[in-house]
C-alpha cells in the first residue's frame, strides 16, 4: 500500500497520514450545548468608525471576542455595492461564483448553485429553525424572485426602507427581531440594518449623520443582545454573534469604487470558537458563511470561505513586512512587503535585470493593502482568493523606475517527502495577468532531476484556485516546486498564495 502524503502547507515536510484538517478548512466540532448563531448586517458600516464612535454594544462584542477589518474586491471583478457585498457574505463565495455583480441582478445570478447559509442549513438540517429580517428588499424579496436569502428559510420578514424611512424601518426591525429572538430563539438568524448606508450617502463617513446612524444602530444591536440574554434557556445555549457590512464609504460619501474606504468591510466575532483579539491574518467576508455552517456541522467544501485559517507558509512573514521604499503612493505607515522568504523557500533572481522599483525586484511577499495601493485599478483588487501575506512577481510595477533587462525570477519551495506516493496534489491560489512575451510556469523536480513544467499559463488566470495532480516517478523520494515568471517587460504580474500539498 502506498504511503499517502500528509496535507500540509508547503514548507513543512510530512509523509505520514492525511491530516484531519485540510488546507481549505473543515467544520468546527459543534459543542454538546445548543448552538445558536446570529449574523447582524449593517449596510455601509466601517470598523474604524465603530471603534471611534459611542458604540458600547459592538465594543463589548469586540472586547470579549475579536474584530478585524476585511478587504473586498473592486471593478472589474465586482463593484463595491450592496448586491455583491451581501451575496458574498451570505453565500460564502466570491462574485465570480455567485454572479451578483450589481444591485439589480434579476435572473442572472448563480444563487441557486451557491445559496445563502440559512438555506444551506434548512437543506442539511431541516430540524433547525432559520430566520431573516431586512429592510433592503433584494435581500429577502424582489419581483424576479432572486432574493439573496431564499424562500426556503423558515421565517422571513421584509420592510421597505425606502417606503417607511430607513431609521423607522431599522427601529421596527430591532423591536420585532428582539422579540422573535427571545421567544422563538431561531437556531440561525440574519438581522439587517440599512440606515448607516443611507447616512453615508447623505453626509459621508466623516459626517455627523453617519455617526448618529452608526450609534443608533449600536443601540438596536444592544436591544438584540439583551433579548438573547433574556432567553429562559440562555444558560444552556452557545451563541455565536457575527457583525459585518457589505462595503464602506468615502469620507465625503458614496461607494462602488476601489478606494480603501469603499473596499473596507469587517467581521466582529463573539462566542464559541473565537480567538480573542485582532487576528494577525485578517479573515475574509466569505468566511462568514463558513463559520455559521461550521457551528452546525454542515459541510460545504465548495465555499471560498473557511471557518479556521489555513496554515499558509507565506503568512509566517507577517512580522517581517516593511514600509515603502520606492512606492511613494503607499502611506508610510502601511507595512506590506518583504524579500525575506519563509523557512526553506528560495528566490532565484539570477536572470533579473538591474534597477527597477525596489519592492518588486524579483518575487516579493506583500499584502492586499500594500499591493493595491501601489497600483490601484489594474485588477490587483481581484486577487480575492489570497489572504494575509502572498507572493507576487510584478514586472509591471518593477518597471515603474529606471531599469535594464527583463524580469526573470523563480520562487522555489523546500523539498517535500513523497516516498511511496504515486501522485502529489498541489493547490494554490493564482491571480495572473498576461501581456507580451512573459511566461508564467509551475515546475516540478523530483530528487535531483531537472525541473519539468506542470502548468504554463497562455492567458489570464484571474482569482483562480489551482489544483495540480502530479505523477510521482517510481522510487522518487522528494518533490520541489518552482513558480517561474520570465521575460517580463512591463508585462503585468502573477500572485500566488496558500500553497498546499497532499495526495
The Cα 474–Cα 181 span in angstroms is: 60
Q: What is the pLDDT of residue 22?
A: 30
Question: Please, is 4 exposed, middle or buried when counting C-beta atoms within 10 Å of its C-beta (0-12, 13-18, 19+)?
Answer: middle
**Are both 227 and 320 inside the same structural domain?**
no
Angle between helices 82-91 and 287-295 (to 10 degrees): 30
Q: What is the pLDDT of residue 502?
A: 82
CATH of the domain at 58: 3.40.720.10
Query: Is residue 209 pLDDT above 70, yes or no?
Result: yes
**Are both 351 and 221 inside the same structural domain?**
no
Q: How many domains does the chain have?
A: 2
**Are both 211 and 75 inside the same structural domain?**
yes
Q: What is the pLDDT of residue 143?
A: 59
DSSP annotation of 277 reads: B
**Are both 317 and 408 inside the same structural domain?**
yes
The Cα 225–Cα 30 span in angstroms is: 22
Lowest mean pLDDT among 140-149, 345-354, 460-469, 478-487: 140-149
Q: Please give the residue range of the domain that contains residue 106.
A: 34-295
Q: How confident is the model at residue 478 (pLDDT cuts 50, 70, 90)?
A: very high
Q: What is the pLDDT of residue 31?
A: 57
454 occurs within a structural domain: yes
Using alpha carbons, list the distances in angstroms from residue 362 to 342, 365, 376, 401, 404. Answer: 15, 10, 20, 14, 13
The Cα 158–Cα 185 span in angstroms is: 19
Question: pLDDT above 90 covers what percent of the chain?
Answer: 90
Determine contact, residues 360/392, Cβ cutoff 8 Å: yes
pLDDT digits (tens, 9 = 90+) for 127-154: 999 999 999 999 998 656 679 999 999 9
256 occurs within a structural domain: yes
Mean pLDDT across the chain: 92
Which string of DSSP letters, residue by residue, matches 374-435? HSTTSSGGG-TT--SSEEEEEHHHHTTS-EES-EEEEEE---EE-TT-SEEEEEEEEEEE--
At residue 147, the 3 state secondary structure works out as coil
CATH of the domain at 485: 2.60.120.260
Query: Is residue 96 pLDDT above 90, yes or no?
Result: yes
Lowest mean pLDDT among 19-33, 65-79, 201-215, 358-372: 19-33
Q: What is the pLDDT of residue 112?
A: 92
Q: What is the pLDDT of residue 145?
A: 60
23 occurs within a structural domain: no
- Which helix (DSSP H) or strand (DSSP E) does residue 224 occupy? helix 208-229
**How much is the average pLDDT of 344-368?**
98
Q: What is the pLDDT of residue 399?
A: 97
**Are both 155 and 280 inside the same structural domain?**
yes
Amino acid at each position: 500500500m502506498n504511503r499517502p502524503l500528509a496535507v500540509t502547507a508547503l514548507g513543512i515536510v510530512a509523509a505520514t497520514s492525511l491530516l484531519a484538517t485540510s488546507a481549505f478548512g473543515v467544520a468546527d466540532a459543534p459543542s454538546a450545548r445548543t448552538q445558536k448563531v446570529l449574523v447582524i448586517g449593517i449596510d455601509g458600516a466601517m470598523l474604524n468608525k465603530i471603534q471611534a464612535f459611542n458604540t458600547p454594544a459592538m465594543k463589548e462584542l469586540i472586547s470579549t471576542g475579536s474584530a478585524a477589518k476585511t478587504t473586498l474586491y473592486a471593478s472589474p471583478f465586482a463593484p463595491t455595492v450592496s448586491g455583491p457585498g451581501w451575496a458574498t457574505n451570505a453565500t460564502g463565495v466570491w462574485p465570480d461564483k455567485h454572479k451578483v455583480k450589481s444591485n439589480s441582478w434579476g435572473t442572472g445570478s448563480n444563487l441557486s448553485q451557491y445559496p445563502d447559509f440559512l438555506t444551506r442549513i434548512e437543506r442539511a438540517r431541516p430540524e433547525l429553525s432559520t430566520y431573516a429580517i431586512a429592510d433592503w428588499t433584494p435581500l429577502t424579496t424582489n419581483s424576479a424572485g432572486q432574493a439573496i436569502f431564499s424562500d426556503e428559510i423558515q421565517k422571513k420578514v421584509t420592510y421597505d426602507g425606502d417606503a417607511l424611512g430607513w431609521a423607522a424601518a431599522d427601529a421596527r426591525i430591532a423591536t420585532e427581531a428582539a422579540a422573535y429572538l427571545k421567544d422563538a430563539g431561531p437556531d440561525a438568524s440574519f438581522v439587517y440594518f440599512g440606515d448607516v448606508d443611507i447616512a453615508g450617502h447623505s453626509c459621508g463617513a466623516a459626517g455627523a449623520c453617519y455617526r448618529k446612524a452608526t450609534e443608533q444602530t449600536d443601540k438596536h444591536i444592544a436591544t438584540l443582545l439583551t433579548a438573547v440574554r433574556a432567553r429562559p434557556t440562555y444558560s444552556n445555549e452557545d451563541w455565536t454573534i457575527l457583525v459585518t457590512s457589505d462595503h464602506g464609504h468615502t469620507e465625503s460619501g458614496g461607494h462602488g469604487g476601489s478606494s480603501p474606504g469603499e473596499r473596507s468591510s469587517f467581521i466582529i466575532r463573539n462566542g464559541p470558537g473565537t480567538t480573542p483579539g485582532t487576528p494577525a491574518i485578517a479573515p475574509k467576508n466569505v468566511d462568514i458563511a463558513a463559520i455559521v455552517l461550521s457551528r452546525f456541522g454542515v459541510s460545504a467544501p465548495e465555499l471560498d470561505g473557511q471557518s479556521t485559517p489555513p496554515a499558509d507558509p507565506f503568512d509566517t512573514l507577517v512580522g517581517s513586512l516593511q514600509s515603502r521604499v520606492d512606492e511613494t503612493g503607499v502611506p508610510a505607515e502601511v507595512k506590506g512587503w518583504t524579500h525575506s522568504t519563509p523557512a526553506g523557500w528560495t528566490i532565484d533572481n539570477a536572470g533579473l535585470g538591474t534597477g527597477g522599483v525596489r519592492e518588486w525586484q524579483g518575487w516579493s511577499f506583500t499584502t492586499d493593502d500594500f499591493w493595491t495601493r501601489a497600483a490601484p485599478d489594474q485588477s490587483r483588487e481581484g486577487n480575492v482568493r489570497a489572504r494575509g501575506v502572498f507572493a507576487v512577481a510584478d514586472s509591471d510595477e518593477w518597471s515603474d523606475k529606471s531599469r535594464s533587462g527583463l524580469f526573470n525570477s523563480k520562487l522555489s519551495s523546500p523539498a517535500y517527502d513523497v516516498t511511496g506516493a504515486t501522485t502529489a496534489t498541489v493547490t494554490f491560489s493564482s491571480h495572473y495577468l498576461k501581456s507580451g512575451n512573459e511566461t508564467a510556469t509551475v515546475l516540478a523536480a523530483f530528487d535531483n532531476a531537472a525541473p519539468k513544467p506542470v502548468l504554463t499559463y497562455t492567458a489570464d488566470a484571474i482569482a483562480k484556485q489551482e489544483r495540480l495532480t502530479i505523477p510521482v516517478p517510481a522510487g522518487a523520494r522528494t518533490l520541489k516546486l518552482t513558480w517561474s515568471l520570465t521575460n517580463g517587460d512591463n508585462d503585468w504580474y502573477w500572485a500566488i498564495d496558500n500553497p498546499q500539498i497532499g495526495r
